[in-house]
Amino acid sequence: MYATLTSIGAYIPTKCVSNKDLEAFLDTSDEWIVKRTGIKTRYFADSNQKSSDLGIEAAKIALQRANISHKDIDLIITATLSPDYINMPSTACIIAAGLDIANVPAFDIAAACSGFVYLLSVAKAYIESGMAKNILIVGAEKVSSVLNPHDRSTYILFGDGAGAAVISATKDKNLSILDVHISADGQYAHYLETPRMQSNENEHNIVQCMSMKGSEVFKIAVAKLTSEVKDILERNKMTACDIDYFVPHQANYRIIKAVGDNLNFKNEQIVLVVEKFGNTSAASIPMAMNILYEEGKIKKGCTLLLDALGGGLTWGSALLRFGGD
Ligand code: ACO
């Protein structure tokens, strides 16, 4: 058996926040943000929405497009850096309950912005080993809940959202997830972290805000992602010409452009939604794929190359042929 990605869905929160909106309370400018990151807007979830709420909406669309019942799902995995709860219950368990799915395994993956590629890797292994037939994977992020609104170096970069996909068993190798590679190096853990600390005002109030050494991560990202994509293409005896769409994690226009140029991708092959959504971490790749799908560009057999790097540091790449209609 092989694993195939048969559908994609996404949820975009309604509140659009422009760079100009951020200028009102942060020492920053639309010009700086656009020049350094390519981001113009991002969407923030309402105060009463959690990551699971966003994930449930994305999952409903993915299930409907896969044309399967929620009763056929035999595993749910969620990737998030902004879980509903600290440690337990997992966001995957909340999403499962919200979809009326019970008595199947549900768990979270912590791989920050590489979350979706990690999800694909686990789903592929579960299906190829015969342990599952239909898996729902969800990247669900309320990143705004772990950002310090006074930290201009992180607050401007991120957005909220969710993306989901159904991965099913198939005998058709040609229409499957052809290859996934994931990796990590904890020596860089302190480059991107949400430390557990207590607020001075209220010792019972756990405050967790992200901090990032941006320029250090930037340099590693360009180098690692370039070699990651080069390796997966070589391993599968492909070149950039064999790829319909390169769907990178949407962290920064400059990182995407540098990796795309290093690998000779044409502009029309590179999927760019960072301008609209900002960095939505584990949701960024499926949200980008969803845009392609809704524009009618992803068709059955379409070859996609994904890559991502995030906190951990973690990184990875995936090569797949879309298996849905
Ligand atoms: N507005 C205005 N000025 C700013 C802002 C801001 N929002 N943020 C920083 N600056 C200033 C800095 O203080 C600095 O000023 P100085 O020169 O006086 O010291 C100057 O701008 C340059 O700062 P740098 O951090 O060197 O800027 P850089 O060009 O590296 O861009 C950025 C910063 C956008 C964060 C970039 O480094 C980046 O994208 N890094 C990678 C992010 C990433 O890929 N993360 C991984 C995934 S995220 C995850 O896993 C959660």
Which residues contact residue 298 at a Cβ distance below 8 angstroms, ignoring those fewer than 6 apart? 8, 245, 289, 292, 304, 322
Q: Which residues line ligand 1 (CB under 6 A)?
A: 28, 32, 36-37, 81, 112-113, 152-153, 156, 192, 214-215, 217-218, 221, 251-252, 255, 279, 281, 309-311
pTM of the shown model? 0.96
Tens digits of residue pLDDT in 15-40: 999 999 999 999 999 999 999 999 99
| pLDDT value at residue 325 | 77
- Output the pLDDT for position 190: 96
The pLDDT value given to residue 183: 98
Please indicate whether residue 249 is annotated as part of the active site: yes
- Does residue 241 carry a catalytic annotation? no
Give the Å distance between the CA of 286 and the centre of ligand 1.
Answer: 25
pLDDT one-digit tens code per residue, 39-72: 999 999 999 999 999 999 999 999 999 999 999 9
* C-alpha span between 76 and 134 (Å, rounded): 9
What residue ranges of the chain have pLDDT lower than 50? none
DSSP letter for each residue of 246-311: EEE--S-HHHHHHHHHHTT--GGGB---HHHH-B-GGGHHHHHHHHHHHTT---TT-EEEEEEEET
pLDDT per residue over 270-303, tens digit each?
999 999 999 999 999 999 999 999 999 999 999 9
Rounded distance from Cα 111 to ligand 1 centre (Å) = 21
Q: What is the pLDDT of residue 87?
A: 87
Given ligand 1 and candidates 18, 116, 215, which is best to mutate, with the most ligand atoms within 8 Å of its CB? 215
152 Cα nearest atom in ligand 1: 7
Instruction: Tell me how far apart the alpha carbons of residues 117 and 167 are, in angstroms, rounded to a whole number.
Output: 13
* Ligand 1 atom 33 nearest Cα: 214
Q: What is the pLDDT of residue 120?
A: 98
Active-site position among 249, 252, 290, 302? 249
Catalytic residue among 113, 134, 252, 290: 113
- For a substitution probing ligand 1, which of 218, 225, 285 has the most ligand atoms within 8 Å of its CB? 218
Please list the helix, strand and coil fractions of the chain in percent, rounded to the nearest 5, in that order. Answer: 40, 25, 35
From residue 179, alpha-carbon distances to 182, 258, 260, 273, 293 in Å are 10, 23, 20, 24, 21
Closest residue CA from atom 47 of ligand 1 = 310
pLDDT at 22: 98
Residue given tokens 């997966």 in the structure block: 232
Token pair of 167 as six digits = 């991965």
Active site residue 264: no
Nearest-CA neighbor of 76 among 139, 2, 13? 139
